[in-house]
C-alpha cells in the first residue's frame, strides 16, 4: 500500500514523536521526549510550522516540518524545510520525495513563494533527493549563523 500524507495536528504529535527523536539522534542531539512534544505541539498550535506525516498501514514512516516565514524580496511567504526524516526501514521507498512534493504543493496552495533548506556537505543522498525534486544549490548567498548560547 502506498504511503499516505496527512497534516499533523498538535494532538497527533505523540504518534510521530519517535520519528522526531530518531531524527534528533541522527544529528547526535537529545532532548527529553516531553520537551520535544511540547515544542512541536506549540509550533503547530501557533501555526508557526506545519508538519506532514507519511504513513504506511497507519504507521508513521516519515515527516517533514516546515517553519513559516516571509520574504521581503519576493513579497511572498517562504518556508524553511528544517526537518525531513524517513524511518530507516522505509528509506528508498519514495516517502522522502512524497513528503517534499507535499511541501511544494502546500507552498503553491498558499500563493507560491519559496522553500529553503540546508543539508550537510557530505549528505549526498539528501542532495540527490532535493535536486530530483527541483531544489537548486544557492550560489548567490553565503549563510551565516549567530547563536545566543554561544556568542
Region of residue 28 (phi > 0: left; psi between -120 and 50: alpha; otherwise: beta): left
In this prediction, residues 81-98 reach a mean pLDDT of: 95
**Quick one: pLDDT at residue 151?**
64
Does pLDDT of 1 surpass 80?
no
Indicate the class that CATH gives domain 4-132: alpha beta
Instruction: Report, as an integer, the average pLDDT of 69-81.
Output: 92
N residues, the chain? 151
pTM above 0.85, yes or no: yes
Closest among 61, 142, 143 to 94, alpha carbons compared: 61
The domain spans of the chain are 4-132
The pLDDT tens digits for 95-148 are: 999 999 999 999 999 988 899 999 989 999 999 999 999 999 999 988 888 888
Residues 73-94, mean pLDDT to the nearest whole number: 93
| Position with higher pLDDT, 46 vs 151 | 46
Q: What is the predicted pLDDT for the residue at 142?
A: 87
Q: What is the pLDDT of residue 29?
A: 95
Q: What is the percent of the chain with per-residue pLDDT over 70, rounded to a whole number? A: 99
Distance CA 144, CA 91 (A): 31
pLDDT in the model for residue 136: 96
Instruction: Please check the confidence at residue 73 and state whether its pLDDT lies above 80.
Output: yes
- Burial class of residue 91 in the structure, from the number of CB atoms within 10 Å of its CB (0-12 exposed, 13-18 middle, 19+ buried): middle
Amino acid at each position: 500500500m502506498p504511503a499516505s500524507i496527512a497534516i499533523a495536528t498538535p494532538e497527533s504529535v505523540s504518534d510521530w514523536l519517535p520519528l522526531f527523536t530518531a531524527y534528533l539522534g541522527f544529528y547526535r542531539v537529545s532532548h527529553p521526549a516531553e520537551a520535544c512534544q511540547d515544542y512541536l505541539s506549540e509550533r503547530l498550535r501557533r501555526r508557526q510550522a506545519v508538519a506532514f506525516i507519511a504513513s504506511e498501514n497507519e504507521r508513521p514512516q516519515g515527516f517533514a516540518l516546515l517553519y513559516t516565514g516571509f520574504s521581503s524580496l519576493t513579497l511572498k511567504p517562504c518556508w524553511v524545510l528544517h526537518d525531513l526524516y524517513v524511518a530507516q526501514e522505509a528509506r528508498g521507498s519514495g516517502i522522502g520525495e512524497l513528503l517534499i512534493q507535499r511541501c511544494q504543493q502546500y507552498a503553491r496552495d498558499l500563493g507560491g513563494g519559496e522553500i529553503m533548506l540546508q543539508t550537510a556537505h557530505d549528505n549526498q543522498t539528501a542532495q540527490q533527493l532535493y535536486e530530483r525534486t527541483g531544489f537548486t544549490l544557492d550560489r548567490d548567498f553565503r549563510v551565516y549563523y549567530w547563536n545566543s548560547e554561544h556568542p
